Structure 1
Amino acid sequence: MLDITRRQVLLILVGVLAVSTMVAGVYGLVRQPAARPAANGHPAGIDAEAIEVESDESPAQEDRSLPRTSDPITYARAVATSLFNWDTTAGLLPVDYTAAVLADTDPSGEETPGLLTDVATYLPSIEQWLDLATMNVTQTLSIEQAFVPHSWAAALEQARGHLRPGTTAVTITGTRHREGIWEGEPAETSYPVAFTVFVACPPAFERCHVLRLSQLDNPLK
């Protein structure tokens, strides 16, 4: 009975991530006029300091770099792994785990502001992260399926050519595992997750880049 209580308490403390309201889907990906560069050289509406922090490379970040591939399924799986596999005891912060994804965003800059918002909802806040670190929490993702959802064909038809050629939605389903220490004893919890990664691959670009993420647990089907 005591072991069950530990699992329940850990689930309450570390199982919830704040999810902000966002629009993710065809309408968030419709091609817009290219973002006007600001005086600092970054597209208008993007925090230059945030981009510089996120893209500042360290050995740990380089190890998490996304693959250079034209296969949307392979690429989306890598995005999912990069965002979901983390360790609060490694001396890194959430921005270190989102850096690889943000460094590989839409080269035109059109989707970058939205992606900045998206990835923030997939990892704990700084306050949550520090709390999790006191319990030595680590997280991994077991991917069960990665597929282009049936609804994507209809979405492309409704977009009537307003999406970049090569834009693809890949829905990921799997199980998120967390392990940590609660009251001096090992504890763990697992629960299902599902989401959609929107990517742009050839012929839009020479290789795949991440555009947006759906709301967590609200994927395209």
Structure 2
Amino acid sequence: MDQPAEPRRRRLLIAAIAGGLALLVAVGVGIYGLVRGPGDRIADPASSGTVTVAPSSPVRTPAAPARLPMTGDAEEFARAAATALFTWDTLSGSAPADYAQVLSDAADDSEADALASDVRAYLPTAEAWAQLTTYQTRQWLTIDTATVPEAWEAAEAQAAPGQLPRGATAYTITGARHRTGVWGTEPVEATRPVSFTVFIACAPPAPEFSASLCRLLRLSGLDNPLR
């Protein structure tokens, strides 16, 4: 049965604004972390970073994926989603699908399938995860800025009434992706800058809720944010 025209137009608009949502599979399988020796360049298709010998290897307690906060604060939610997207630990006992589920649980129903595809593009494949586990690889994100891009403001101004989901907005995140692991017996670490856009909607999900709740819509491609 054909989908209603209006929801279909909304999904197409969000997809068009996001742009570059399909990252190459190589992001998941092309080294993806600390699998070269200290001092070598990381073979990361999106950008390169350097791996250095860490001064120490503190004992860590791997944490399981954490749920996103239930909040109506758009920037808080965007920052939390961005952090969750980049936070994983191969020693946690969780798999990439578990980390992806945290974000999928916060998806807006209208974009759930598309968002799941966006999230998978940021995470290692199962095969890459198995390799990264041998290096005890851990990853996290530090955020420098989270701002509503001018391109989104222009899109809002040009959108027809009802064309965008209620409460929709976008935050472009800039920061640094960090990874640590062990190469042989040496602790190593790597850092590279990243940027991307998180598309969200913060609106009451039902009449009985008085507070606004934020949901995830889409993600831009890595290093392909709205400006």
- Does TM, normalized by the shorter one, top 0.5? yes
SS of structure 1 residue aligned to 2:179: strand
1:96 maps to 98
Opposite residue 77 of structure 2, the aligned amino acid is: Y
Alignment of 1:12-23 (within 5 A): 12=43, 15=44
Asked whether 1:6 is paired with 2:10, we answer no
Confirm or deny: 8 A CA contact 1:170 1:196 kept in the other structure: yes
- Unaligned ranges ≥5, structure 1: 18-58
Confirm or deny: 8 A CA contact 1:165 1:204 kept in the other structure: no
Q: CA deviation at 1:193?
A: 0.5
1:157 maps to 157
2:77 maps to 75
Confirm or deny: 8 A CA contact 2:37 2:183 kept in the other structure: no
Alignment of 1:141-180 (within 5 A): 141-161=141-161, 162-180=163-181
Deviation by residue 1:171-203 (Cα, 9 ceiling, x = unmatched): 111000111111221111100011100001025
1:216 maps to 222
- Unaligned ranges ≥5, structure 2: 1-35, 47-62, 207-211
Alignment of 1:24-35 (within 5 A): none
1:115 maps to 115
1:193 maps to 194
Deviation by residue 1:48-79 (Cα, 9 ceiling, x = unmatched): xxxxxxxxxxx934xx1111111111001000
Deviation by residue 1:134-172 (Cα, 9 ceiling, x = unmatched): 001101101000111111111112222200221000111
SS of structure 2 residue aligned to 1:181: strand
2:137 maps to 137
**How many residues are aligned here?**
170
Q: CA deviation at 1:16?
A: 5.2
Of the three residues 40, 54, 64, the one matched with 1:60 is 64
SS of structure 1 residue aligned to 2:203: coil
TM-score by length of 2: 0.70
In the aligned structure 2, how far is the partner of 1:115 from the partner of 1:145? Answer: 22
SS of structure 2 residue aligned to 1:195: strand
Confirm or deny: 8 A CA contact 1:105 1:210 kept in the other structure: yes
Deviation by residue 1:82-131 (Cα, 9 ceiling, x = unmatched): 1111111111110111111101110xx22111101100011111111111
